Chain A
Amino acid sequence: MSEMTEQRRTAVPAQVGTREAVLLPQRKPRSLWSDAWRQFRHHRLAVAGSFVLIFMVLATLIGPFLWPIPWNHFDMAEALQGPSLEHPFGTTDLGHDIFARILWGGRISIAVGVVAMLVAVVLGTLIGAIAGYFGGILDSLLMRITDMFISIPSLPLLLLITYLFQDRMKAIFGIELGMFLLIVLVIGGLNWMPVARLVRASFLSLKQKEFVEAAHCIGVGTGGIIFRHILPNTLSPVIVAATLGVAQAIITESALSFLGLGFPPDIPTWGRMLYDGINWIEFAPWMVLFPGGAIFLTVLSINYVGDGLRDALDPRRMFAV
């Protein structure tokens, strides 16, 4: 509150009592998004998390271009060396540079996380919107399907589908793209349910509001009402769920690779590096420490950012600033 009055005092100078003093705007109007941003900034760990996250994404995107050693270069003479100036994270049992592999594999791990989350969010939003808006039998049917998907044990199914269909996908799309599509589709296809529930709940409550009735009156079609009127107002919890979903997807992909059922063996996703490193844990602990640390740091910062977003976008908190 003191911030607002301060701005009023330092506003555009105008003679007291003139029309300008009344008509000139005293300060920039605040939008809801800037309110959310301000609230987000108060959550220091979330801000720190976002810096770490941005740094890691940039590192994986640009790093491989800047670092002199390519990720697939190996030199047996340099195998199993600890961290040094030349190899900041040490080398693997085959002489690969771990730092380069973490940067390269990070692209894939993060890409899988983001795309899988997108799949889950798009699918969940569509299903939730349709169920929430149309109601009735369609709603019951979609909710039964959602419940069924929630009850399916996801890891066994994930393992199963990945293992069974990986050859076919590789044959159609090529080894890497096929695996990427398979993993992304399966993770996304098993994680859309919370988003669908959130969106449906929002739709059910927003459907009754006056602005929807007004839009209907001026002749906006069903599609317009869903996508241009109601949907933008459901975004806040979806954004939070999406952020946390990325973390979840990264963990799931790493788990898959860790169990040996993910990407092909020469692709150094972080989970795969753990899988390769676990046999050498007594002689070369750096082989597991750095990929594990990378996963931990990424997931931790995403979780903090998600927490900050939840605080910022929670409509009850907005009046506290």
Chain B
Amino acid sequence: MTQYLIRRILISIPTLIAISIVIFTILALAPGDPLAEFAMNPAVPPEVRQRIRQSMGLDDPIPVRYVKWASSMLRGDFGYSFRSKSPVIDLIRQRLPTTLYVIGTAYLLSVLIAIPVGVLSAIRQYSIFDNIATTLAFIGFSLPTFVTGILFILIFSVKLGWLPMIYRTTIETEGLAGLWEKIKQALMPIMVLALFETAALARYTRAAMLETIHQDYVRTARAKGLSERAVILRHALRNALIPVVTIVALSIPGIFTGAVITEQIFRVPGMGSLLISAIRDNDTPVIMAITIIFSALVVLFNLIADILYGVLDPRIKYE
């Protein structure tokens, strides 16, 4: 088991390094000068600009810049944002909790709803429940997050006026009323994200469960005379969950992506909107930091998925 773990970790690290090199090179090769605003300023003559570039290290060859950046990043120093001149790590620290809170709740909700629905759908295949659930799932994942988001705003904010359209982090009311305010405004982004994920997960769970139910050992369990409940819960479910768990772990990076769009719609001040404004401002340190964090999360969750798969399915360990 440890050997499997070690092998997996040893593969993840070069992957992460390779991704960071790719992203860094793309950014370095791209046109667009972060000092462009200085170019417009007549008070800053070209020689001074050149000296600023040199002092910032912008003229060094790419490998040198990469090594400098990587070594400081490993020490936790993500540099300073070109735009706001504040340390990148502070910006991230401000935004990360909001993103995690919205995404985490959405994902938890979707897992809690999707797995039971998928299992029930599979057990009672072609029943009314299954048909409704499958149709809802199809609709759910044909609706991209921005369409759902806009639809929800239309229904719940504009027409019904129940929920606020814009997310505010500075809610002053304390106590229960304040908590209710906070829940109300987070409700729509969470629902939007959760809808899409639930639909996708429910389909996977149903498919995995269907495949498991038709296996021979389930037929054996039934033939032995076990109650249907025991057959499903103790024999079929555990095996069906193996691919489902892997998918759950592997879709977590996907939900970060979905969050980028949702944060734009509802103006949630999270990592996603930070990324977009950084891209628009050509703010390289922030872009690098966020992309690296996303990539690290992806690699981390792939690793967790592999480990979980190894734990749940003993056959994998011996490969």
Which residues on A are within 8 Å of B, measured CB to CB?
Answer: 144, 147-148, 150-157, 159-161, 163-165, 167-168, 247, 251, 254-255, 258-259, 261, 271, 274, 278, 281-282, 285, 288-289, 292, 295-296, 299-300, 303-304, 307
Contact = CB atoms under 8 A, between A and B. Distances in A.
Given A160-B279, A164-B27, A296-B142, A153 B154 contact: no
Q: Which of B16, B32, B150, B265 has the most CB of A within 10 A?
A: B150
Contacts of B30: 164-165
22 contacts: A144-B15, A148-B15, A151-B16, A152-B22, A153-B256, A153-B257, A156-B260, A156-B291, A156-B294, A159-B260, A159-B279, A255-B144, A259-B260, A274-B150, A281-B150, A281-B154, A289-B154, A292-B150, A299-B144, A300-B139, A303-B138, A304-B138
B141 interface: yes
A313 B192 CA distance: 33
Interface in B148-180: 150-151, 153-154, 158
Interface stretch (B55-63, B65-73, B295-303, B309-317): B295-303
Contacts of B279: 159-160, 163, 261
A156 B142 CA distance: 22
Contacts of A251: 144
A254 B31 CA distance: 25
Nearest to B291: A156
A295 B26 contact: no
Interface in B112-159: 138-139, 141-144, 146-147, 150-151, 153-154, 158
Contacts of B287: 156, 160
A278 B264 CA distance: 11
Nearest to B135: A45
Contacts of A153: 253, 256-257, 291, 294-295, 298
A307 B264 CA distance: 32
Nearest to B158: A282
A252 to B, nearest CB: 9
Given A151-B19, A160-B291, A303-B138, A259 B154 contact: no
B295 to A, nearest CB: 6
A307 B26 CA distance: 37
B261 A255 contact: yes
A160 B276 CA distance: 9
B275 interface: yes
Nearest to A145: B18
Interface of B: 11, 15-16, 18-19, 22-23, 26-27, 30-32, 138-139, 141-144, 146-147, 150-151, 153-154, 158, 253, 256-257, 260-261, 264-265, 275-276, 279-280, 287, 290-291, 294-295, 298-299, 302
A81 to B, nearest CB: 18
| Ranked 4 nearest A-B pairs via Cβ | A164-B30, A300-B142, A153-B294, A155-B257
Q: Which of A165, A254, A259 has the most CB of B within 10 A?
A: A259
A292 B150 CA distance: 9
A152 B153 CA distance: 31
Contact of A164 (B31, B153, B154, B158): B31
B196 to A, nearest CB: 10
Nearest to B17: A148
The A contact surface, by secondary structure, is: helix
Nearest to B19: A152
Contacts of A289: 154
Given A152-B298, A160-B291, 17 more contacts: A144-B15, A147-B15, A151-B15, A155-B261, A156-B257, A156-B290, A157-B291, A164-B31, A247-B142, A274-B150, A281-B153, A285-B158, A292-B151, A296-B147, A299-B142, A303-B138, A304-B138
Nearest to A288: B150
A303 to B, nearest CB: 5
A292 B158 contact: no
A163 B280 contact: yes
A167 B36 CA distance: 15
Contact of A151 (B141, B146, B147, B295): B295
Contacts of A164: 26-27, 30-32
Contacts of A160: 23, 26-27, 279, 287, 291
Contact of B257 (A151, A154, A281, A299): A154
Nearest to B253: A153
Nearest to A257: B146
Contacts of A307: 138
A167 B150 CA distance: 30
B67 to A, nearest CB: 20
A155 B31 contact: no
A148 B154 contact: no
A151 B302 contact: yes
Contacts of B16: 151
A167 B33 CA distance: 13
Q: Which of A155, A271, A288, A300 has the most CB of B within 10 A?
A: A155
Contact of A288 (B19, B23, B154): B154
A274 B261 CA distance: 13
Contacts of B31: 164-165, 167-168
A157 B279 CA distance: 10
A54 B271 CA distance: 40
A161 B144 contact: no
A278 B150 CA distance: 7
A258 B146 contact: yes
Q: Which of B32, B279, B280 has the most CB of A within 10 A?
A: B279
Contacts of B257: 153-156
Given A151-B302, A160-B26, A278-B150, A254 B144 contact: yes
Nearest to B143: A296
A165 B253 CA distance: 25
